[in-house]
Amino acid sequence: MLNVTKTFLPPQEEYNAILKRAWDKGWITNRGTLVKELEEKLKEHLGVINLLATTNGTLPLQIAIKALGLTGEIITTPFSYVATTSSIVWEGCTPVFVDIHPEYLTIDEKKIETAITSQTSAIMATHVFGNPCAVEAIEVIAKKHNLKVIYDAAHCFGVTYKGKSIFEYGDVSTCSFHATKLFHTGEGGALFTKDKELFDTLFYLHNFGHMGKENFQGIGINAKMSELQAAMGLAVLPYVERIKKNRERVAAIYSEELESLQQLKVRKEAIWNFAYFPVIFPTEKTLLQVRENLNKSNIYPRRYFYPCLTNLPYIQNADSPISQDISKRILCLPIYDDISTTEVLQICNIIKRSK
């Protein structure tokens, strides 16, 4: 069976050896030595100033909204995972959708200003499949209208733009370390910001508001990463570059073999991480036929992102025709560390025969 992705598992003895350090201390949560070590190693690996490890990749979005004191409307993308929109709603704000660019698949920065109202407090945009948004244009718009910027960078581990980490853009960036991601901690995530004062606020918010053992900075939630998760991250991290190279190998085959299909256009001056490999079919009918034929061979791609977030039951009066169209025709193909060239070519041949 070939799924759209597969969790990379490091040698078990390596994970166990790291985990034993927490075991010996009897300290498996509340920011133990493994979490702190992972944060330092990730900062060095990614070239970022501030990084806060969290227990998953969704809480960082909610914490960012809370930390920035956002209210009213937040401009966002309809083409993302549901967590982007649900976090806005969960925090009592209103998502205002701006349609996507038909090739980059990120929010169309040229359409943002027309969506800004007196109630707008921020822009929350997604770097889709690790492909950066038009960060410079968004920054100009945000400064002009005094808006905060949050980037949902769930797919962006290792992505750079113009020579620096994509996590260094915006007021806050977030990442997912879910088991399906290029780098993972089983379940996990992270918060990033260049602002030290804001970072301190994020820190308090992710740990119940604690400022020391007996004092509280304010309200908070529990988003702390455990030592068990950190141990997995420390075991996976040494393999990240190998994982990325193998994904690049797979992407190169897909790109050549399926050149007749629309593929993701990666933004110029971005170094991509090959997080996913989406292809866009001419019609939804074609996609469904291709998927059926792949499934017959025990190959399971994913309709991702589908459905368009404007179709969520708690969203009203949203119109994003490009996102609605793309979401019906896009399919993410299997891509992971140890998928073989033979298997990738098999997938390509089934797709070509199905069109």
**Domains in the chain, CATH or no CATH each:** 2-238 (3.40.640.10), 240-354 (3.90.1150.10)
Please tell me the distance from the alpha carbon of residue 96 to that of residue 194, in angstroms, as a whole number: 26
What letter would DSSP give residue 58? S
Beta bridge partners, 265, equal none
Q: Which two tokens stand for residue 105?
A: 């698949």
Low-confidence residues of the chain, pLDDT below 50? none
Q: Which of 113, 99, 158 is nearest to 132 (CA)?
A: 158
What pLDDT does residue 231 have? Answer: 98
DSSP assignment letter at 34:
H
Residue 209 sits at φ, ψ, to 5 deg, of 90, 5
Tell me what pLDDT residue 162 has: 97
pLDDT at 104: 98
Give pLDDT, residue 216: 66
Instruction: Evaluate whether 164 touches 138 at the Cβ level (below 8 Å).
Output: no
DSSP, collapsed to helix, strand or coil, labels residue 153 as: coil
CB 161 within 8 A of CB 269: yes
* Residue located via tokens 């492909």: 131
Backbone angles phi, psi at 121, to 5 degrees: -115, -20
pTM metric for this prediction: 0.96
